[in-house]
Amino acid sequence: MKKSKFFFLGILAIFACNSKSNEKKLAISPYFDVKSFFEKEAAKLNQQKPTIVKWVAKDDLGEKKKLKIKDWKKELKSFIDADINKGSWQNEFNKTTTNEVTTYTSANDKIPVKKLMVAKQGDSVIYVRIMVTTTNFLYTSKDTLNYYPGKFYELKKTQKITLFSQTSYQIKGVFN
């Protein structure tokens, strides 16, 4: 009985360690560090407290409000979550650079982030564009995330659930 308990606990510990190690970020990011970039942006925006005009829409119906975001890390969570520097994703992205734009693409079906484009002028980021696709037997979801520092951010989502019509969502925040 004791042996089976220790065996079970040992197996459980191995799975716990493996699942955490796969999600760990690499010590040196081989790709653009999306997570750090957006966490720094969130911290900067939390300090600046800018007013934005925010548009939220489902299909063609939406509303616009002028407001101040209280928690920019939460507001930019979709961008932060699109980090491509996960240990299990190492060597899964092809990198191409033309002029000021670096593009990372992945054809791996298991990786939802399909494309990341970063435009820079010197050390300054001009824009970040991220394409995320999730497909399973119940639904298909395609997200396009755009961020232009100091100008605007935008999240566009189309979702097709089996047996239902396609729905689209959009959130756009324009800095004043």
Q: Which amino acid type is present at position 147? A: Y
Q: How far apart are alpha carbons 47 and 45 in whole angstroms?
A: 5
Its pTM stands at 0.81
Assess contact for 116 and 128: CB atoms under 8 A.
yes
Q: Which amino acid type is present at position 85? A: N
Q: How far is CA 42 from the centre of its chain?
A: 14
Please give the average pLDDT of every successive group of 10 residues along the chain, which has 176 residues.
42 40 52 96 97 95 96 97 92 93 94 97 96 93 97 97 93 95
Q: Which tokens belong to 153?
A: 């951010």
74: phi then psi, degrees, rounded to nearest 5: -70, -40
